[in-house]
Structure 1
Amino acid sequence: MEYTYLLINANDWEDMVIIVTEEEAIQASMKYPNSRVEIFSKNADIGYSPTYNYYKNGELYKS
């Protein structure tokens, strides 16, 4: 399955950052420990859908 990552912080939505690799997502979550990197899965029907899992401070949190 293909994933895309989104760095979410307390700023406006325009400041969100799209990340394309898992390694970069983990690094970004460590660089910005007060933010989280949400994980989205790519699908054929609607584009991307949330997995409700995320990285925070380098750790993976699963729902």
Structure 2
Amino acid sequence: MRILGISAYYHDSAIALLENDRIVFALQEERLSRIKADSAFPKLSIEAALNYTALQTGGGGGKLGA
């Protein structure tokens, strides 16, 4: 099972993607937006996580379930 943890609208928005209870990807939004302490919704980080998982699985790995 994949779980996407999102921290947003406060100091340093970030995401973490877990797969089978292991962290496979984590990123702070400021790394991509280049805005110090970015508190916006971490859209760029989520896109990066989906792209990363698609590369790791050879294609359709970018799908997350609710």
TM-score (norm 1): 0.33
- Which structure: larger Rg? 2
TM-score (norm 2): 0.33
Structure ranking higher on relative contact order (CA contacts 8 Å, 6+ apart): 1
Q: Which structure has the highest strand share of the two?
A: 1
